Amino acid sequence: MSSAILFDKNSIWRRLGIVTVLLILLIGPNFGPIPLTLLQSLSLEGAIIGMLVWFLVGFSIIIAAILRLSGMSLRELLSYVGVGAPSRLGPNIVGVIVGLLMAASFYGNILQFAPETNLAQINGFRILTVLLAGTGVVLEDIITRGWLMNQLRELQIPNWVQAVASALLFALYHTVFAGFNIAAFIASIVLGLILSGLFLWGKRSLTPVIIAHSLAVILAEPFASMMIFLTANL
């Protein structure tokens, strides 16, 4: 019995290690070298679309790896991570507030760099970036909140450690290829802790997390992605 438990725990640590490496290697470059490379041959709009497509490709590869390593079907994975699971009203309301604050932060940053930006403009490019980025953040939340934290729970790791581990990984792949700016790292940890906290507060439902993350994207794209290109050039 003990050997079976040990094997199971070893399998979980192995899966966590593989997914961590994939997040750093596949997603991390999108916050540094990939935007700079895309801008060498594409317009800013084309480069943003290319970057968002790579987010989808990278997260999809990681989802496929999780399915392969765990032996789950996609439906089983979505249930496991809390997609559509019942949540409390409080976390959902806070998720809306967090999403609005995130969008306001992106607006403030883009206006600081480009004060002539028309934040109210709606066009095909903006709609496309919202669809691409919105899908990307849902996949990201499935991996870095739902799946990762539930895997740590199976190792009987306390909730607060799960939240910190998720936030640290989130911050790491957001900054490791972008010069590891300490301010950006700390900001990413804070955001990661908020999203992880919403997951725990919402009874391990991804609903409040997706509300917060997706609302920010719906309101702030393509300006949120533009900030990645601006910071990559600094």
Q: Are 204 and 150 in contact (CB under 8 A)?
A: yes
pLDDT at 61: 98
Rounded to 5°, angle at Cα 103 from 207 and 181:
100
What count of residues does the chain have? 234
pTM of the predicted model, to two decimals? 0.93
pLDDT at 1: 38
pLDDT at 233: 59
pLDDT at 4: 47
Q: Are 26 and 62 in contact (CB under 8 A)?
A: yes
The answer for residues whose C-beta is within 8 angstroms of residue 149's C-beta and 6 or more apart is 162, 163, 165, 166, 196, 199, 200, 204
Q: What is the mean pLDDT of each run of 10 residues along the chain (234 residues)?
A: 58 96 96 90 93 97 96 95 94 97 92 84 93 96 97 96 98 88 91 97 97 95 86 61
The domain limits of the chain are 2-232
Q: Are 223 and 107 in contact (CB under 8 A)?
A: yes
pLDDT at 7: 52
- Copy the structure tokens of residue 199: 């997951």
Q: Are 109 and 204 in contact (CB under 8 A)?
A: no
pLDDT at 114: 78
| pLDDT tens string 185-213 | 999 999 999 999 999 999 999 999 999 99
Q: Which 3 state secondary structure label does DSSP give 103?
A: helix
| pLDDT tens string 15-29 | 999 999 999 999 999
